[in-house]
Each structure stands twice: as structure tokens, then as C-alpha cells.
């Protein structure tokens, strides 16, 4: 029997520090608990932090894959994959950020295609700009999570980005308002945020999911949604994130199902 193609989910923002990478990793944990085989592709090519956050030992990166494809040395994508656990693999960003400029978007398409029947879910973490590489990932995705915070600069940029999405007829995205990132920043209500960005908020990560000592878990390479202590103390928040993860597996999922 032919294996079904993976669901491709891209996590995007137009500002750094909004919790994009953390959300990507937490979703990977949720999907692994759902017995899904997950690949995290780190397309934050200049400053990707997936492998570092997970303490994954990396031999080859996406740059090596692209270099081998362009020089007819590519054999199998598994040669460039690093393992986190039995359910979660990582395709790491380049070690040297100078190599980011050598990765053409056309190769990103080829790499994703080479993975699509090997995994149940492919999570793509992107840089916070609408580069050709990010656009290629968004175009290839079943769903894109566009993350925003209560930061005034972020919201102004988000408004412009949503206008660009509309102009270019990109509609496979959900807006995620992350209020757990900077709990001291409560300048705008949810109503204000909707008015500023001129778009509905499809999903909210509540400030109750804020974890004061999150750096400790990063240093240990832990995924929050797989940590028993966090799962017990943040049960309601993780249940909401699980509902979002489930909805993303269904292309027809309505935003109201995951609020």
C-alpha cells in the first residue's frame, strides 16, 4: 500500500523572537505523542536554532543536501537527517550562515518532495522575512501558522505581511497570537490586535503557557510538550495546542475548532 503524503506545516513570522521555533518544537512533541513520524526542517537558514534547542548532534545539514543535489551526488535524504528520538527527526540549517545564500528555493522544493512519503508530518521553521525560500515553503505547505505577538513593531509588520498575502493570493495560513512570549507586554487587547492587523486571530497561545525557566529546558534539549512535569502543570494549554495540531492535519479545519 502506498504511504500517504505527509502534512506540511510551515511556521512563519515577520519578526524574530515571537516564539516561532519553540512552537515548532512543541508541535513536533504533540505529533510524536499522536504516534506520528515527524521531520522538522530548519529553514531559518542564517540563524536556525532547531538542532541547538534539541541538543541534536548534526553531521550534515540542508546545505550539504543542496550542494550534493546541485553536483549530482545526492542519493537519499536520510543521509542528511539527524535524529532526536524515535519519532522526531531534524534537517538542520547550515552551520555557517554564509552558506544560506547558496541555497536556492528550487532545491527546497526538491528536498521537501524527497521527504514527503517518509513522514506523517513535516514541520518547517522559517526565517522572519518573506524570502524566496520562505515563499517556497509556504507555497508547498498544507497550512502555515503566521505568528504574531503584542509587540507594536511586530503587529505593524504583520499588517503589511497580511496585505502581501492577500495581494499574492496566499490563503493557506492561520494567524496565531502568542501572548505567552512577553507576558509584560499587554498594550493591546485581542480586539485591538485584530483591528491593527486587519485579520481575525485564528488561534491564541494564552499567557498561562508562559514558562519562566524555559531556558533550562532548552539547555537540556527538552521538548516542553513531552516533559511530564510541564504536561501536568500546563494541562489545559497543552490540550489546546493538541486541538490545533489535530486541526492542522485536516485541510478543512475551521478556525473556531481550535480557539
Domains and CATH numbers, the chain: 7-249 (3.40.50.300)
The radius of gyration computed from the CA coordinates of the chain, to the nearest angstrom, equals 18
Q: What is the pLDDT of residue 188?
A: 83
Looking at the predicted structure, is the pLDDT value of residue 77 above 70?
yes
Question: What's the whole-number mean pLDDT along residues 85-96?
Answer: 96
Measuring CA to CA, how many Å separate 6 from each of 9, 91, 123? 9, 15, 10
Question: What's the whole-number mean pLDDT along residues 164-189?
Answer: 85
Q: Show the beta-strand stretches assigned E in the chain.
A: 7-12, 38-43, 82-83, 88-91, 121-126, 143-148, 173-178, 203-205
Q: Tens digits of per-residue pLDDT, 99-112?
A: 998 999 999 899 99
d(C-alpha 15, C-alpha 22), whole Å: 14
DSSP 148-161: E-S-HHHHHHHHHH
Residue 103 grid coordinates: 541555497
Q: Tens digits of per-residue pLDDT, 183-216?
A: 666 778 888 999 999 999 999 999 899 998 899 9
Looking at the predicted structure, is the pLDDT value of residue 234 above 80?
yes
Looking at the predicted structure, is the pLDDT value of residue 255 above 60?
no
Looking at the predicted structure, is the pLDDT value of residue 96 above 80?
yes
Give the residue from 154, 160, 198, 215 showing the smallest Cα distance to 179.
Answer: 154
Question: What's the whole-number mean pLDDT along residues 121-137?
Answer: 92
Amino acid at each position: 500500500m502506498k504511504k500517504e503524503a505527509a502534512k506540511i506545516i510551515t511556521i512563519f513570522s515577520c519578526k524574530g523572537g515571537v516564539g516561532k521555533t519553540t512552537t515548532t518544537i512543541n508541535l513536533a512533541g504533540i505529533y510524536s505523542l499522536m504516534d506520528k513520524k515527524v521531520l522538522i526542517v530548519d529553514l531559518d537558514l542564517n540563524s536556525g536554532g532547531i538542532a541547538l534547542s534539541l541538543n541534536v548532534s548534526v553531521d550534515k545539514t540542508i546545505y550539504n543536501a543542496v550542494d550534493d543535489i546541485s553536483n549530482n551526488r545526492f542519493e537519499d535524504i536520510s543521509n542528511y537527517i539527524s535524529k532526536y528520538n524515535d519519532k522526531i527527526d531534524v534537517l538542520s540549517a547550515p552551520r555557517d550562515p554564509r552558506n544560506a545564500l547558496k541555497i536556492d528555493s528550487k532545491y527546497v522544493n526538491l528536498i521537501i518532495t524527497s521527504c514527503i512519503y517518509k513522514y506523517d508530518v513535516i514541520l518547517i521553521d522559517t526565517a522572519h522575512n518573506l524570502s524566496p525560500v520562505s515563499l517556497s515553503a509556504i507555497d508547498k505547505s498544507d497550512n502555515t501558522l503566521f505568528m504574531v505577538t503584542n509587540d507594536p513593531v511586530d503587529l505593524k509588520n504583520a499588517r503589511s505581511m497580511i496585505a502581501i498575502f492577500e495581494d499574492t493570493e496566499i490563503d493557506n495560513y492561520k494567524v496565531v497570537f502568542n501572548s505567552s512570549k512577553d507576558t509584560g507586554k499587554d498594550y493591546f487587547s485581542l480586539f485591538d490586535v485584530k483591528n491593527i492587523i486587519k485579520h481575525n486571530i485564528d488561534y491564541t497561545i494564552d499567557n498561562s503557557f508562559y514558562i519562566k525557566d524555559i531556558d533550562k529546558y532548552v539547555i537540556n534539549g527538552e521538548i516542553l510538550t513531552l516533559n511530564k512535569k510541564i504536561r501536568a502543570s500546563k494541562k489545559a494549554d497543552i490540550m489546546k495546542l493538541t486541538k490545533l495540531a489535530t486541526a492542522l492535519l485536516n485541510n478543512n479545519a475551521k478556525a473556531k475548532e481550535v480557539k
